[in-house]
Amino acid sequence: MDILVETINKYENIIIAKHKSPDWDAHGSAHGLKHILLNNFKNKKIFVVGWDIENKAVEPDELTLSEEIITKSLLITVDVANYDRIDFDRIDLVKNIFKVDHHIEVDNFAKDKLVDSTAIACTQVITLWAKENSLKIPKEAAYYLYYGLITDSARFLYKNTSSKTFEAAKVLTEQDIDIIKIYENLYLKNFEQAKWNSKCFQKIITLCNKKIAYLKIKKKYFKNKKLSEHEIKSSLSIFVNIKEIEIWYIAYQKKDSKSIKVSIRSRKYDVNKVANEFGGGGHILASGLTLKNWNEIKVLNNKLKELINEDK
């Protein structure tokens, strides 16, 4: 029997946790898995915890969790590479942890796991796991899983997109989901967001003959603009189709934090190697890290220059 199926069968209460500051792959994995479990396993109580990016609040399920329930629960983490990034502050109380992920393993925080680091998205891992175990994927689950699949693959453009990615897409679209609505929700911008991206383009800083490009987004932008963190991060997209740029990132400081979050991307260089040096991580071509202050930008840029010079 499949180890995840076997583990699920042992527990009545199952908590699903995403990573902090979740993206759509994390959010879609959590809610997609929840609907799969509710439709295929009898007498299970499923709770999704952490930040709800749709409603911009804590997941409603988390508010119903008592200590008594948590201590008897299996915790399944989705799209979480590091223990410290699990978005659940009562993790020490759970009975067992099972890890479902697609990141390069940097933190072995769970004995039992379903990890495929070749997969473009955690939603791909969950979709194919369900298919391989003949589990029904209801329309609600397919909606969330497809959302995560297309965002983490950038509509199937990123390097790790494979035949398995398209197999997962086939499985999900067969559930009669409205993919036009999903694409419109993701890629249609309101006027303020379009203005923001245009302004960001004027503020791009380049290095190494434009091979490296980045944006610094300070606290005041969160205060002055009616934009969410997700909308701020969307400015990453302005770099994607520029031929000269080979490594790009945004560094942004939220209004309630002194540290600087960095989302870094590349078409050819292993930026995960650099992210690891700052205690971050993710994928070879897409990683995240945190800087203590703006002065560390210089250190980061020097590391990225070294990465490019290694290729000469």
What fold characterizes domain 3-186? inorganic pyrophosphatase (n-terminal core) (3.90.1640)
The residue count of the chain comes to 312
Q: State residue 52's pLDDT score.
A: 93
Q: State residue 167's pLDDT score.
A: 98
Alpha helices, DSSP H only, in 14-138?
A: 24-40, 67-70, 122-132
Indicate the pTM of the whole model. Answer: 0.84
Q: State residue 223's pLDDT score.
A: 64
Q: State residue 226's pLDDT score.
A: 67
Q: With DSSP H G I counted as helix, E B as strand and the rest as coil, what are the percentages for the chain, rounded to 5?
A: 45, 20, 40
How far is Cα 66 from Cα 70, in angstroms, rounded to an integer? Answer: 6
CA nearest to 263, candidates 295, 285, 243: 285
How far is Cα 267 from Cα 246, in angstroms, rounded to an integer? Answer: 6
* Domain boundaries along the sequence of the chain: 3-186, 191-309
Q: State residue 168's pLDDT score.
A: 98
237: exposed, middle or buried (C-beta count within 10 Å: 0-12, 13-18, 19+)?
A: middle
Q: Are 232 and 219 in contact (CB under 8 A)?
A: no
Q: State residue 194's pLDDT score.
A: 85
How far is Cα 140 from Cα 145, in angstroms, rounded to an integer? Answer: 9
Residue whose structure tokens are 């979050």: 261
Please give the class, per CATH, of domain 191-309.
alpha beta
Q: What is the mean pLDDT of each run of 10 residues along the chain (312 residues)?
A: 95 97 95 98 96 92 96 98 93 97 89 95 99 98 98 87 97 97 87 86 94 90 68 83 94 82 92 92 86 95 94 70
Q: State residue 213's pLDDT score.
A: 97
